[in-house]
Amino acid sequence: MSRRGFSTIISLIDNLLARHERNPAARNLIAAIDNDGFANMDLRDTFDEELAVLERAGGIELIQTGPRTERRVTGVRLRDARVLYRKVERRPAGELAYQAVSELRSQPGLPAGATSLIDDVVAAWSRGVSHIGIRKGEGRTLADVIGLAIAVRDRMSGDPQEDQDFRTFSRLTVGNSKVLEKNVRQVAAAMTKIFAGMDEQTRLNPEELLASAGLRRLPQPILLHGDVSLDGRSFPAMPYVGIPTDCAGGIGLLTKPDYVLTIENFTSFVRHVREVARSEQALVIYSGGFPSRPALATITRLAAQAQVPTFHWGDMDAGGVRIFQHLERHLAGFDIPLRPHLMDTELLRRFGKPAPGVAGPVADRHASAVAALADFLTASGLVHEQEEFDPRSPITETLAPKEQKAPMLRPDPLQ
C-alpha cells in the first residue's frame, strides 16, 4: 500500500492515476485511506458511498481489514483507470502529450532524429515525467529547443561565423530571446539525440558545446600578444590586442615567433604576457576558456603559419583536459603536435587539491599528450587551477626533466 493515506475522493483518484501513468504495466496499485483524516462521520460516510459507486462501476476494488463483524475499508486497488478518468473528467497523460506535440510533429523537413526525440518525449510525458529537462506539456519549449538544436548544428557544420550572443541567436532562430539562456542544457541534450556522429561534442559540457559553435552569453574578442598585423597593418606597441571575431580572418604574423602558447584563463594570460612573453619572441593567444569557432580557427591558422613549438596552459581539471584535447585534435589536422605547459602528473601530485563533489571519468582515452594527466585526475580526485602558478616560459619545457624547476606558487594571502 502507498504510505500516504487519503480522505478525499479527488486526491485518492489523482494519486492512483499519476502512479498508473508512470507505470501503465503495474497491476497492483493500491491507495490507503487516512481514517483519521475525516472531520466528522458524515464526511466519512459520503467518502465511503463514493468509493462504493466507483467499485460498482469497476474502477476500483475495496480493501477491507478487521474481524468479519467489524470490517472497515482501509484502502482501494485500481481496476480500470478509464472509470477514474471519467469520474474526475481528466484526460490521460498520453493523450495530452500527443496533443502538445501534434503541431511540432507535423512540421515538414524535421530530421529523423528530431522525430525520434519527440517520440521519446511523448513516452516520458505519458508517464508524467520530464525528458531532457523539459517538463510534461511544455510543447512550445520542446519546439524551441529542437529549433535551436538544429540551428546550432548548422553553425557547426558550416564555415566559421562570427561569435553571436545567446539572446540574439535565440531571437533570430525561434523569436524568443530568452529561450536559449533558460534551456542551454536542454539544447545540448537535444543535439546529441537528434544528430549522429557527435562523439566529440558529447564530451563537452553544454556551454562548451555552444562555444564551439561560436555562441556565447556575450561574444568575446580574440586577445593575443605577438608581432601580428590586421589586414597587413601593424599595431602600436602594447601588451596585447583585442580583435573582434568578425575581423579575425585578417590577423597575420609579421615575424615568426619562437613558440605559440594558448592560455585558458584571463589572469594567467595577462600575467604571462606582462611577465614573460614581452621579453621573448612569442605568440600568446587567450582561448577564452573553451575556444569559440572563430578563436579556434585563428589559433590553428596562426600556428600553421608559424610552424614552431605550440603549447597550451590550462587548469588541471576535467574542463582543462577537455579544452586541451579539443585544441589538440584540431591542430593535429595541420600536423602540429600540441604540448601541455605546466600541466602534468607530477605537478598535480605535488600541488593539486581534492576536487569538490564526486569525480568521474575526465576524458576519452584516445592518444593524447595529456592522457596520463587525465588518468591521474580520475584516479586521484585532485585538481589544480592554473592561476596558482606564476607564469614561466614554455621554452624551458624543452630542457631535460632533471634541469627543469618547479613553478613558483602564488603566495597565499591568508598565510
- Beta carbons within 8 Å of 18's beta carbon, 6+ residues apart: 128
Does 228 lie in the same domain as 211?
no
> Any idea what DSSP says for residue 187?
H
Does 58 lie in the same domain as 9?
yes
pLDDT score at 403: 40
pLDDT score at 4: 78
CA distances from 210 to 75, 166, 201, 230, 333 (A): 52, 9, 10, 27, 22
Alpha helix positions (H), 158-205: 166-174, 179-182, 184-194
Query: Three-state DSSP class for 169?
Result: helix
- Amino acid identity at 239: P
Domain boundary among 34, 68, 88: 88
Radius of gyration of the chain (CA): 30
Residue with cell 593535429: 332
User: Checking phi first, is residue 58 left (phi over 0); if not, alpha (psi -120 to 50) or beta?
Assistant: left
Question: How far apart are alpha carbons 85 and 62 in whole angstroms?
Answer: 18
Whether the CB-CB separation of 346 and 383 falls below 8 Å is answered with no
pLDDT score at 24: 86
> SS3 string of 347-397?
HHHHHCEECCCCCCCCCCCCCCCCHHHHHHHHHHCEEECHHHECCCCHHHH
pTM: 0.61
Does 370 lie in the same domain as 340?
yes
pLDDT score at 252: 95
Beta bridge partners of residue 72, listed in sequence order: 65
Whether the CB-CB separation of 172 and 181 falls below 8 Å is answered with no
Does 145 lie in the same domain as 209?
yes
Does 203 lie in the same domain as 98?
yes
- Residue 289's CB is within 10 A of a number of other CB atoms, namely 20
Q: How many domains does the chain have?
A: 3
Beta bridge partners of residue 241, listed in sequence order: 224
Does 397 lie in the same domain as 265?
yes
Q: Is 383 exposed, middle or buried (0-12, 13-18, 19+ CB in 10 A)?
A: buried
pLDDT score at 204: 82
Question: How far apart are alpha carbons 302 and 334 in whole angstroms?
Answer: 11
Question: How far apart are alpha carbons 255 and 172 in whole angstroms?
Answer: 41
- Cell numbers for 193: 539525440
Domain boundary among 191, 216, 241: 216
Beta bridge partners of residue 251, listed in sequence order: 230
Residue 153 lies in a domain: yes
Residue with cell 615567433: 257
Does 341 lie in the same domain as 386?
yes
pLDDT score at 21: 87
Question: How far apart are alpha carbons 146 and 107 in whole angstroms?
Answer: 12
pLDDT score at 401: 40
Question: What is the domain range of residue 34?
Answer: 5-88
Domain boundary among 71, 88, 105: 88
Alpha helix positions (H), 179-292: 179-182, 184-194, 206-212, 266-275
Does 179 lie in the same domain as 250?
no
CATH number for 262: 3.40.1360.10
Does 101 lie in the same domain as 72?
no
In tens digits, the chain (415 residues) has pLDDT values of 446 789 999 999 999 998 898 888 888 999 999 988 898 999 999 999 999 999 999 999 999 888 877 788 889 999 999 999 999 998 898 888 989 999 998 899 899 999 999 999 999 999 888 999 999 889 999 999 999 999 999 998 877 777 889 999 999 999 999 999 999 999 999 999 999 877 666 678 898 889 888 888 876 899 999 999 999 999 999 999 999 988 889 999 999 999 999 999 999 999 999 999 988 999 999 998 889 888 999 999 999 999 999 999 999 998 899 999 999 999 999 999 999 999 999 999 999 999 875 444 555 556 899 999 999 998 999 999 999 999 999 987 554 343 445 566 654 433 3
